[in-house]
C-alpha cells in the first residue's frame, strides 16, 4: 500500500499572515501619528480674551515667583493640589518664601473643565478662590466629564460649602462671565509654550508634571540661589548740576 504524503504547512498562509500583521501595524502607526493631539480646548473665536492675571496666593514681593498652569479636570493637577500643595502653602507661601499664581489651562480632552474654571472664578469674586479651588480639585469625581454631562449641579453644591452668596454665584456662573478671563489665562500658557498640566514656572525655569514636595523645594532653593547670584540693579546716576 502506498504511503500517504505528509502534509506540510503552507508557506503562502504564513507569508500572508505576516503581511496582514504588517498592514495592521502600519495602519495603527499612521493613526497614532496623524490623530489630533490633546491640547487646548477650542473656544469660540468671537469670544474676546480678557486680561491674563491668574489668581495670586501669598506676598507678591516674595523672593521667588511661582506660577502654575493647571486644568481643574486634570487628574495629575488634582493629585498635586490635594497631596503636595498643602505643604507648599504651609511651608513656602504662608512663610513668605514664594508667591504662587494659578493660571487656568483648560485642555480639550476634559469636557467639564471650562465650567469648573468658571465656577472657581465666580467664587473668587467673593474672596473664596482658595476654598473653591480646593473643593473642586478634591471632588473631581463628582463633576468631571466621566461623572456628568451637566456639571453645574455638583459644582453648585461645592460652592455652597465655601460660604458665599449663592444667588450672586449662580448668576455669574450662568452668564459665563469669566470665560474671557479663562481664555486669557489659557492663551498665556500657549504663549509660554506650556505642553501639559500641571506645569510650574519657578523663578525663571519651567518644570512640567506632578512634582513631589522635596523636588519642588529643591527647585525653589535653586531659584533663590540663582536670584542671589544675579547682579544687583544699579540706581541711575544723578546728573551733575
Which DSSP symbol is given to 188?
A: H
Amino acid 30: pLDDT: 34
In a domain, 206, yes or no: yes
Q: What percent of the chain has pLDDT over 90?
A: 71
Which DSSP symbol is given to 149?
A: S
Whether the model clears a pTM of 0.85, i.e. scores above it, the answer is no
In a domain, 234, yes or no: no
Triad 141, 209, 159: Cα angle to 5°: 35
Per-residue pLDDT at 10 exceeds 80 = no
* pLDDT tens figures, 151-165: 999 999 999 999 999
* pLDDT band of 99, cuts 50, 70, 90: very high
> Cell digits for 16?
500572508
**Number of separate domains in the chain:** 1
Q: How many CB atoms lie within 10 A of CB 156?
A: 15
Cα(95)–Cα(118) distance, integer angstroms: 30
Q: What stretches of 35-106 show up as alpha helix (H) in DSSP? A: 75-79, 85-88
In a domain, 24, yes or no: no
In a domain, 26, yes or no: no
Using CA atoms, how far residue 185 sits from 30, 54, 55, 154, 181, in Å, is 34, 6, 10, 24, 6
In a domain, 233, yes or no: no
Average pLDDT, integer, range 209-223: 97
Amino acid 49: pLDDT: 76
CATH number of 179's domain? 3.40.30.10
Which is it for strands 199-202 and 64-70: parallel, antiparallel or unpaired? antiparallel
In a domain, 240, yes or no: no
In a domain, 10, yes or no: no
- Evaluate the CA torsion angle 58, 186, 44, 139 in order and state its sign: negative
Amino acid 43: pLDDT: 53
Average pLDDT, integer, range 87-91: 98
Grid cell 493637577 is found at 77
* pLDDT tens figures, 50-77: 788 899 999 999 999 999 999 999 999 9
Amino acid 9: pLDDT: 45
* pLDDT tens figures, 17-30: 443 434 334 333 33
Residue 186 domain boundaries: 55-228
Average pLDDT, integer, range 100-115: 95
In a domain, 45, yes or no: no
Amino acid at each position: 500500500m502506498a504511503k500517504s504524503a505528509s502534509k506540510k504547512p503552507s508557506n503562502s498562509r504564513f507569508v500572508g499572515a505576516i503581511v496582514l500583521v504588517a498592514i495592521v501595524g502600519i495602519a495603527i502607526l499612521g493613526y497614532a501619528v496623524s490623530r489630533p493631539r490633546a491640547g487646548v480646548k477650542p473656544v469660540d473665536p468671537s469670544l474676546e480674551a480678557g486680561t491674563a492675571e491668574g489668581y495670586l496666593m501669598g506676598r507678591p514681593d516674595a523672593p521667588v515667583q511661582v506660577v502654575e498652569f493647571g486644568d481643574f479636570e486634570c487628574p495629575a493637577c488634582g493629585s498635586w493640589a490635594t497631596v503636595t500643595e498643602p505643604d507648599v502653602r504651609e511651608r513656602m507661601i504662608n512663610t513668605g518664601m514664594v508667591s504662587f499664581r494659578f493660571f487656568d489651562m483648560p485642555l480639550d480632552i476634559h469636557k467639564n473643565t471650562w465650567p469648573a474654571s468658571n465656577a472657581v472664578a465666580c467664587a473668587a469674586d467673593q474672596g473664596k478662590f482658595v476654598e473653591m479651588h480646593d473643593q473642586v480639585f478634591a471632588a473631581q469625581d463628582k463633576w468631571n466629564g466621566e461623572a456628568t454631562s451637566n456639571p453645574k449641579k455638583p459644582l453648585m453644591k461645592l460652592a455652597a460649602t465655601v460660604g458665599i452668596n449663592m444667588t450672586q454665584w449662580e448668576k455669574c456662573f450662568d452668564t459665563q462671565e469669566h470665560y474671557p478671563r479663562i481664555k486669557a489665562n489659557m492663551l498665556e500658557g500657549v504663549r509660554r509654550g506650556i505642553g501639559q498640566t500641571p506645569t510650574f514656572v519657578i523663578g525663571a525655569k519651567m518644570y512640567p508634571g506632578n512634582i513631589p514636595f522635596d523636588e519642588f523645594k529643591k527647585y525653589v532653593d535653586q531659584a533663590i540661589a540663582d536670584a542671589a547670584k544675579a547682579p544687583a540693579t544699579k540706581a541711575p546716576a544723578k546728573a551733575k548740576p
